[in-house]
Structure 1
Amino acid sequence: MDLSNTQSNADPVYRKLHRACLAACIVLAPLIVFLGFAFDPTGGVPPAPGGIFAAYQVASPLKIQLFLFFNAITPYFFPLSFLGLGLLAVRRSPWLATIGMVCGLVGTLTWGVFVWPEALGDAMTKIGSRTTFIEVWNGVSSEGVIVFLQYSWVVGHLLGYVLLGIALGRARVVPLWAACLIVAAIPFQAVAYTANQGIFQLLSYALIFIGSVPAALAMLKLRDRQVLMPLGEEPAPTT
């Protein structure tokens, strides 16, 4: 055995750490979002401000704190999960992977902005002024910058998952069923808001979580040259 060749082919520890962190984000992000929706006092599909006020009033303090906690840590995992999924597919499906990563980042980097209004809503509920709560909630929600961030979140993360799911399937870095689960999960989020049933939000992220497990395992096995080196003579899709 050529020892020098073996050493040159071995990935440095810091690169293994990079992949381990990305793999963790890939699998933990949908789980954390799932838990955030599970503990959401409104059931994951916010009603009118009056309904939000009532939901906060009847929810236990522990449930609200868990809801805020999981929403607060989501930005540390969610954006990196899209980056990890894209890196898995970028070599064989460069355009879909790149656009999917951009959409995912645009959608998820905004998540942290919505935590403080939720915490403010909890604080105002404890004061007990329903009228003030509704006025403040409507005022904040109607601000142009908040509307922009809300649409960025909705369109960005949904489109990101669809494009990256297709890219992963084309790249064949995960089983086809895993890529299909990620794509098939997205319509359930639209159904959740249409039917006003938060259970569909939970179902969506449960499917994404299951589909993300093979992707996380693939990231752990990935070597840098599989991402950075050209395919050589092997033909590759360009979309």
Structure 2
Amino acid sequence: MQSAGNPPHLGSDLRVPVFLKVQRIFFAICMVLPFPLLIVGFVTAGNLNPANGNIAIANVASMSLPPFLDLALVTIGLFLLPFGFLGMVSLAMSRSPWLASIGGVLSLIGMMTTIAFAAQSDMTYDMAQLGSSPQFIALWNRFNSDTFMTACLILFIIGFVGGPLLLGIALGRARAIPLWAAAAIVLSRLLPIIAFPAHLNSSITDPVSYGLFLLGSIPAAFAMLKLRKEEESAPKNR
């Protein structure tokens, strides 16, 4: 006999709340969309990791896209990416909580430092539009090597390289994504460790790095869209 307080259709209690569906869709989008934007932005920007300001300003002056459009693509990508990291943390948290937590915190710290590098890029664009000069080159070199930018660079390497690397390992250990996808995320973060200190051409290394990251993030986005976990954890009337 059915008790008076229980509804007749228990299946309705297993429906996933709309806000969880919207949240998962948003996180899934943020896991994938930033990387095509960043790839296009970095390919068209030329080498933004040169040894001196003269090369940086000359590279920006020869960009194939308008500087504002290029900066907008990169900025939008960097704005969405932290939400993608949060989604990855949620996928790995149940089975690899420590790696997911540390990787998530480091990733967000690394993302905070990108504001400084966006300002550096904007300054380089302005210098290229005004015309290269010895004063601009000296200012670029001074700005790029001062204490603040050096600290931001260290935090960026620790956060934006180390954080997602740990997230990739956590996702693999949690079996949230295939091992090949986790390996792609890890490899995508190892490449900048080699490329940046060696001043390798960022218009080549960055697209390759973010392409690997995109390859590993697509399975994570599909995993985020699965609602099985919410369905299993939905409250049931007994």
- 1:207 aligns with 212
Q: CA deviation at 1:33?
A: 2.3
Gap regions ≥5 residues in structure 2: 1-6
Match for 1:135 among 122, 135, 138?
138
Larger radius of gyration: 2
In the alignment, structure 1 residue 40 sits paired with structure 2 residue 45: yes
Whether contact under 8 Å (1:38, 1:202) holds in the other structure is: yes
In the alignment, structure 1 residue 21 sits paired with structure 2 residue 30: no
Match for 1:7 among 5, 9, 12?
12
Whether contact under 8 Å (1:34, 1:206) holds in the other structure is: yes
Q: CA deviation at 1:88?
A: 0.4
Residue identity in the other structure for 1:37 = F
Runs of 4+ in 1 over 3 A off after TM superposition: 222-229
Gap regions ≥5 residues in structure 1: 230-239
* 1:70-219 alignment, distance < 5 Å: 70-193=73-196, 194=198, 196-198=200-202, 199-219=204-224
Q: CA deviation at 1:209?
A: 0.3
In the alignment, structure 1 residue 51 sits paired with structure 2 residue 55: yes
Q: Number of residue pairs matched?
A: 226
Q: What is the distance in 1 between the residues matched to 2:126 and 2:17?
A: 48
- 2:3 aligns with none
Residue identity in the other structure for 2:148 = V
Output one character per residue of 1:185-220: Cα deviation in whole Å (capped at 9) or x when no partner.
222223333261332322111111011001001001
Report the CA distance shift for 1:100/1:108 in structure 2 as closer, same or farther (over 3 A).
same
Q: CA deviation at 1:63?
A: 4.4
Whether contact under 8 Å (2:31, 2:217) holds in the other structure is: yes
Instruction: Tell me the SS of whatever aligns to 1:45.
Output: coil
Range with greater deviation from structure 2 (32-41 or 186-195) = 186-195
* Identical-residue share of aligned pairs (%): 35
Report the CA distance shift for 1:134/1:89 in structure 2 as closer, same or farther (over 3 A).
same
Q: What is the distance in 2 between the residues matched to 1:227 and 1:3?
A: 20
Q: CA deviation at 1:24?
A: 0.5
Q: What is the distance in 1 between the residues matched to 2:70 and 2:127?
A: 16
TM-score (norm 1): 0.85
Range with greater deviation from structure 2 (101-110 or 135-144) = 135-144
Report the CA distance shift for 1:3/1:111 in structure 2 as closer, same or farther (over 3 A).
farther
